[in-house]
Amino acid sequence: MTYTLTTPLYYVNDRAHLGSTYTTLACDTIARFRRLQGERVTFITGCDEHGLKIQRSAEAAGLTPQAHCDAISGEYRDLWRRWGISNDRFIRTTDPRHRAIVEQFFARVEANGDVVEGRQQGWYCVACEEFKEEAPSAQEPHCPIHLRPLEWRDELNLFFRLSRYQEPIERLVASDGFIAPRSRRREVENFVAGGLRDFSISRLDLPWGIPVPGYEGHTFYVWFDALLGYLSALLEPDDANDLALLAERGWPAQLHVIGKDILRFHAVYWPAMLLSAGLPLPEKVFGHGFLTREGQKMGKSLGNVLDPNGLLERCGADAVRWYLLRDIPFGDDGDFQQQRFSDLVNNDLANTIGNLLNRTSSMARRWFDGAVPPAGAAAAADHPLALRCLACAETVDGALEALDFRTAAAAILELAEAANGFLNDRAPWKAIKAEEGRSGVAEDLYAVLETSRWVAVLLAPLLPDLSARMLDQLAQPALLADSGWTAARHWGKLASDLALPEPTPVMHRLELDSPL
């Protein structure tokens, strides 16, 4: 069985921001965790490239819509590569194969009697690509999310008969586990309880979109088109453009990770569309919160947008991953605070985890011929640090299964702190001065080095680069994305007398003397 998870398909009206990076890093962590457990994973990301907003952005830049999409999608793809994102698929909704899937899906929905013509009137947010609830008589209404004026629309569209799916959608959103975190479920339940209304799935005279077969002048509404990217992304290069293949390619998805602002589309519209087309539903939709900066919403007008490229260059992937995953409860809103960011990275990664490995390796090399000391009694499975490692692994597994990155990170940090505390209590730099204390020192250093190995192994889904550097410093092989993670989590895997490399800092301190 394949574990399929997705980011949203990012809208290419503009370049990637920290919010899209946050979502993608979270999904990357989940994908790595699943692979390390031996599961087959299909991790989907990509770009949503149709709609009025894209057309206007291209016109403003003096480009054709296709040229604009090619440029921005290329930047997304390159950014994820440089961040080390492990996605298996990158779908673009301008891909001809995607168009074929959209047409086939629409044919199923239409054949099921779920497509009708009707008039769409209302206030429309181009940035959201969504009609809002403001009354027709509203004077100069604004989008509450983008704070931009809404536009009045009055046109004949095709509608999807969402109202036919009131009862199955009510049951779905009320079920345990479909919408997460639980705090998000209530808002969707309230929306559904108000009565589902048919929604427009086409636009008239909007050339930048996929034409609706059999309806001249209509192009598909961007949300109808974009959601189907999760399906078209699953097809292999040599596959026919056939919805019937999806069950063999990893559908249904186990997890959609999205921002909370698009929860309604994924938790209500999307499952109704799938029911209409006779396709199985995704297992879970997780809506995470928004990021602010120093207590303020990020925006170009405020000049406080955090650029993922600049963050990567100045701070590195490990630092940003650690801060976002360790400090922000996944699902809640989070605030990026530069001082706290710097403090956490320096205290947790450089001082606690990095220094633990560096100083222990240095002592082992100095006193035991450049190698791992003899394990002696420290190889026993009931050693205090062995028990801490096993307990930590259990906590990390449970937390990552629940998408609780913060608890997983905290458990690993506590394990490193316990090893540091053990080292300080045993004070091998004192005991080594007495010849009769040499065997005890060897056992203590072995236990701490072995714990450092466990820290590196458990960090692999969260901080893959730091994990790899730590394992390399311990002369350990790279973790394999199958059963390698399980095999590595046995106390005593670090071989005595193994030559240790010259210690180098595995994590440098952040010195941020100017705003990011």
Tell whether 143 is in a known binding site.
yes
How many CB atoms neighbour CB 184 within 10 A? 20
Tell whether 392 is in a known binding site.
no
Checking DSSP bridges between strand 89-92 and strand 40-48, what pairing results, if any?
parallel
Tell whether 146 is in a known binding site.
yes
Tell whether 69 is in a known binding site.
no
The amino acid at residue 92 is R
The amino acid at residue 291 is L
Query: Distances from the Cα of 359 to the Cαs of 71, 239, 363, 450, 465, in angstroms?
Result: 47, 54, 6, 14, 20
Show Cβ contacts of residue 105 under 8 Å, excluding neighbours closer than 6 positions: 228, 231, 243, 273, 277
Query: Interhelix angle for 355-367 vs 464-473, to 10°?
Result: 10
Query: Interhelix angle for 355-367 vs 405-426, to 10°?
Result: 40
Secondary structure in 3-state letters for 347-398: HHHHHHHHHHHHHHHHHHHHHCCCECCCCHHHHCCCCHHHHHHHHHHHHHHH
The tokens for 130 are 């969504």
Radius of gyration of the chain (CA): 26
Q: Which residues fall in the annotated binding site?
A: 125, 128, 143, 146
Q: Which residues fall in the annotated binding site for Zn(2+)?
A: 125, 128, 143, 146
